[in-house]
Chains A and B, each alone.
Chain A
Amino acid sequence: MSAIASEEATLVAVPRARRRLGAAGLRPYLYILPVVASLGFWIYWPLLRTFFLGFYTWNLLPTTPRVWVGLGNYARVVGLQEMGIALRNTLIYVVGMLPLSVALPLGIALLTQNLGARARGVYRALIFMPMLMAPVVVATIWDWMLDPTGGLVDSLLHAVFGLGPVYWLNSQTWAIWVITAIAGWKVVGFAVLIFAAALTGVSREYLEAAAVDGAAAWQRTWHIVVPLILPSILLVVMLTVLLSAQWTFPLINVMTQGGPVNATTNIYFELWQFGFQSYNVGWASAAAVLLFLGFGVIAWGFTALMNRVAYRDS
């Protein structure tokens, strides 16, 4: 069930007597003041400023004046070749991540469902561990494993198949897939947990009734289980679409710096480059605004879709 739907359910279920409008006077505002002030100052205010900075040329130095250029930055950013490459790579990351963040974890969640409670818990805890590791640590470990001279992967390739050395991260073909795989490695266990939580909500009775009717195991899974946990599947798809660029960013920053020849850059890395490598605040801000609007539309679309799906099965 989607979080938004459950949120509404909670709101409706709250007894009137307790939540009478205005009865508490100023008190609620005092209690929420720290959170609202902090989020306002560190999230919404800079969001507004980014909108404004998108209309200026500025190099981040307080002593340099900002120059108004209207929509000039937007026009330039949209036409930039780097932006095109970054967008295309972002799409590759998303598409490459989906099997690792949706299909594989769904399979694992289904397969581990019938294990004993203890074995299931241990197994899910083990495959969850990469999610806990800091992105920089993950990047360092994999850089070592993939090191062309003496790294584990290369030594194995050499010892077993007589292959190598393979310069994984210097290859314009391989590098982006290597980073996709590492980002996938990190989130598999997390996605398994989300699907597992959804599966515990699927009623045994439906499955038993279908089994009595002679439905095979895969039919029961495909026709009963999958539709019932569709909101969770959509949720993970949405997280993958929205967050793949976030998940891969630190790996790119540590392992490849976007290279070789822009082969691994993504949209956030490009923004980072505009802002803190080229000190081109105008471009960075204009690109940020476009990105924010784009991802906002995607999130809105998925939320609408999830609400519809959740409504249909209840």
Chain B
Amino acid sequence: MLAVLSAVCLFPILWMLLSSLKGDADISSLTLLPHVPTLANYAAVVTELPILAMIANTVVMAGAVTVLQLVTSVLAAYAFGRWRFRMDWLLYTLVIGTWLVPFQITMIPNYVVIAGLHWLNTLQALIVPQVASAFGVILLTQAVRSFPAALFDAASLDGAGSWTTLWRVVLPNLRATLAALAILQFISSWNEYFWPLLVTDKPTHTVLQVGLQMFFTDQGNQWGPLMAAASIASLPILAVFLVSQRQVMDAFVRSGLK
């Protein structure tokens, strides 16, 4: 039973990769491996889609969102974790509360804002609304609160200001949590789909996920090239997973337990 389940889980991913390497002759055949592996499907994707622009847009969006979320989350978590201040409980609850607000509830007003700024089909439309992450704040705040109080007292005695303490004391101790968070945020941003679908509709200005859907809608039965495009859209994520499975899985579990 366990073996069957793992086969069911893995096989479709494998089938995507294998199909992407098959030529027209054996794309529908039941043989597992391509007769003659070919990159023709990938070549077709390059000629039919502005795939390089889409890759570039996705890399910039995922990279920028990850970095910005890390920065804003660290700053907020440092404050929530280190000090008590008026309304801290209320503000922290409001941050957590965003978890309860699904994308579909805020999408129309946010679309109106982006359209009003004439930001449709721009990178800033993809990035700016996502600079803060409630999950990042929660995860890092818990980490900062677990530091011994002596750590901050010692820094204060040394005369270090709050900014210096953040750089010299807090960040070095958060390294592992930050790495896990960065990986998780990169993956979820790379896979992001709804928001780019709303604010971009030009193939050269959109990201891989939306590009894949456009390609699918236009060329519904060109399965070889479609599987090649799907593989291109997944390979970076699979690569990240291959080198850091432990952290990815830990981060996902914590995101479920937030």
Contact = CB atoms under 8 A, between A and B. Distances in A.
Interface of A: 2-3, 6-7, 10-11, 13-15, 17-24, 27-29, 31-32, 34-36, 38-39, 42-47, 49-50, 53, 60, 62, 104, 108, 111-112, 121, 123-145, 147, 149-152, 155-156, 159, 185, 188-190, 193-194, 197, 235-236, 239, 246, 249-250, 253-254, 268, 271-272, 275-276, 281, 284-285, 288-289, 291-292, 295-296, 299
Interface in B93-143: 94-95, 98, 100-113, 115-116, 129-132, 134, 137, 142
A140 B230 contact: yes
B215 to A, nearest CB: 9
Contacts of A128: 249, 252
Q: Is the interface of A mostly helix, strand, loop or mixed?
A: helix
Q: Count chain A CB atoms within 10 A of each CB in B78, B79, B258 and give the residue with the most.
A: B79
A138 B9 CA distance: 11
B193 A250 contact: yes
B8 interface: yes
Query: Which of B5, B79, B191, B226 neighbours the largest number of chain A CB atoms within 10 Å of its CB?
Result: B5
A62 B112 CA distance: 8
B146 interface: yes
A6 to B, nearest CB: 8
B168 interface: no
Interface in B156-212: 162, 187, 190-191, 193-194, 198, 209-210, 212
Contacts of B47: none
Looking at B104, B145, B198, B210, the one whose CB has the most chain A CB atoms below 10 A away is B104
B36 interface: no
Contacts, number: 275
Contacts of B12: 130, 138, 141-142, 145, 185
A31 B163 CA distance: 10
A268 to B, nearest CB: 5
A117 B102 CA distance: 37
Contacts of A193: 249, 252-253, 256
A20 B256 CA distance: 31
Nearest to B215: A140
Nearest to A142: B12
B38 to A, nearest CB: 17
